[in-house]
Amino acid sequence: MFCTSLFFGYLTIVTILIYFYLKKCYRYWKVKNVPYVKPKSLLFGSNLDLILHRISFQEYHATLYKELAPHRYGGYFNFQRPFLLIRDPDLVKHILSIDFQTFSVRHNDADDTEPLRLHLFNLYGDKWRVLREKLSTAFSPAKIRMMVHLMKECAQELVHVLDKSADGNTDVSISDIVARYGTDIISTCAFGYRAHTLSNPEAEFRIMTKKIVEPHFAFKFRSFLLSVSPKLCKMLKLRMFNQEAVRYFITLVDETIKYREKYGTIRNDFIDLLISVKKMEQEANMKDENREGKIDISVENLAAQCFAFFFAGYATQNLTLSTALFELARNPDIQNRLREEIDEAFDRTKGNIDYDTLNKMKYLDQVVSEAIRSYPGQPIILRQCVQDYKIPNSDVVIEKDTTVFIPRYGLNHDEEYYSDPDTFDPDHFSDEAKANRHPYTHLLFGDGPRKCIGMRFGQMHAKLALTMLLRHYEFTISPKMKLPIKYTSNVISTSIVGGIWLRNKRRSAS
């Protein structure tokens, strides 16, 4: 009896202490005199609805953006951690570009428990800087121009696969077909291997890809823990990826590199670049083993750079292409206007569509930009400050290690910058519209030194597919399509609930 009373006594004291501790945490922004969104729950901070899956990641950030209007910036609580959200485009420019030295880190949770996570997206400091410099060559216009030849083989296979349903009455899961097209492009351009998942959905490469991009329990648990406590997450050294798939991709990269080194094969893809980086590093190491700016050229680290295509490119590319097709099907006038430009390009080049042709197609560029604006795979851009930072034109000092969010979705859907922001209108990206808008309200690929390195690659992926598809088919919405569109997201990807379903009909002239 005495023990029970003692137990309940302690429990009450502990509960009261926790209560006051949490209350103190939530005073953080008030003490700093920063406007903030009040936490919705004592345990989960501002993100209760997100945890309970009542709203998507996109809706959550759009709501925070609106709730903090009209302030230039404001705070909220991710569990008990204070995050800062930036609303003012001038301030966004400071964080992404002008004051980059203070915000050079995206997040500092990269650890070597999971070698495939040590890619550009997750690295910071000198490791990031040196690698970014070396890898930039792979994404230069000259290299992408060559990779478009490899992409074209996949785009032709894409047209071929859709030929089977081209009667205008068959319901097609565009999300699935676009995901296979994306997988084929990554397999051929990044891993140096034609996986043919468009013609064979059961190909081993596709099965392994799914094991990575369709997260299992361990992945979700680690992601959850990461947002609660990055320190605990690092300490526990939890793995997030399926280990069979990890071994498969490392072995694939290892064997491809060994084969090319042995036979001197050149394919003008990403693996070729990794081989030249490896060779240069080996030569430099022979001259000076202890030099600065060394790169880890172990097979795991080289495979991690290929893996960035999955982590940073796969979902965004698939979402861009599938939602662009969806909007074209829903808006026949936009579809026809784009098709006119495509037909003109085919006639002019006698069907020889290449990098330069695609780059010159203005309306195509507007359609792709509008798809990314309307349906951003990553609704936010993340930065962490590496030292205390005084917000320009204010007295507020952000403390070192504070996480700062740039609400890409919020800015892209703000009526102040985009007329009718919820309508798909490629003229949002006409020269005139762009010239009249603050450039830091676009942010389709981020900005500053950590801007998306795969921008040209991602644009070509979508532009090539749209050109080939609209040349051959007319698209309409399938009755299987669930409207209005709702998002579902996890850390690695955002997709549309129920997927995108369309119908395609062969054009009489093609």
Residues near ligand HEM (CB under 6 A): 96, 106, 120-121, 132, 308-309, 312-313, 316-317, 320, 372, 377-378, 381, 444-447, 450-454, 457-458
What the block records as the tokens of 370 is: 């509008």
Provide the minimum distance between the beta carbon of 307 and ligand HEM in the complex, in angstroms, as a whole number: 9
For residues 238 and 371, which CB has a smaller minimum distance to ligand HEM in the complex?
371
8-state DSSP, 36: B
**How many Å apart are CA 342 and CA 334, to the nearest integer?**
12
Query: 238 or 304, CB closer to ligand HEM?
Result: 304
d(CA 378, CA 107): 15
- Yes or no: say if 505 and 166 are a contact pair by the CB < 8 Å rule: yes
- Asked whether the beta carbons of 83 and 92 are under 8 A apart, the reply is no
Q: Which is nearer to ligand HEM, 308 or 345 (CB)?
A: 308
Rounded to an integer, what distance in angstroms lies between the CA atom of residue 328 and that of residue 371? 10
Q: Which is nearer to ligand HEM, 66 or 132 (CB)?
A: 132
CB of 28 to ligand HEM, least distance (A): 25
**Token output for 164:** 């089977």
If the CB atoms of residues 32 and 451 are measured against ligand HEM, the closer one turns out to be 451
Q: What are φ and ψ of residue 495, in 5° steps?
A: -140, 175
Token pair 């795969």 is found at 454
CB 43 within 8 A of CB 21: no
**Minimum distance from CB of 403 to ligand HEM (Å)?**
13
Cβ closer to ligand HEM: 39 or 458?
Answer: 458
Question: Residue 320 CB, nearest distance to ligand HEM (Å)?
Answer: 4
Nearest distance from residue 89's CB to ligand HEM, in Å? 14
Nearest-angstrom CA–CA distance, 489 and 386: 28
For residue 457, the minimal CB distance to ligand HEM (Å) is 4
Give the 3-state secondary structure percentages of the chain, helix then strand then coil, rounded to 5: 55, 10, 35
Q: Pick the closer one to ligand HEM by CB: 428 or 503.
A: 428
Q: Cβ(72)–Cβ(88) under 8 Å?
A: yes
Q: Output the smallest distance, CB 25 to ligand HEM, in A.
A: 27
Residue 464: CB minimum distance to ligand HEM, A: 12
- Which of 166/385 has CB closer to ligand HEM? 385
User: Do 128 and 141 contact (CB within 8 A), yes or no?
Assistant: no
What is the C-alpha to C-alpha distance for residues 192 and 32, in angstroms, rounded to an integer? Answer: 52
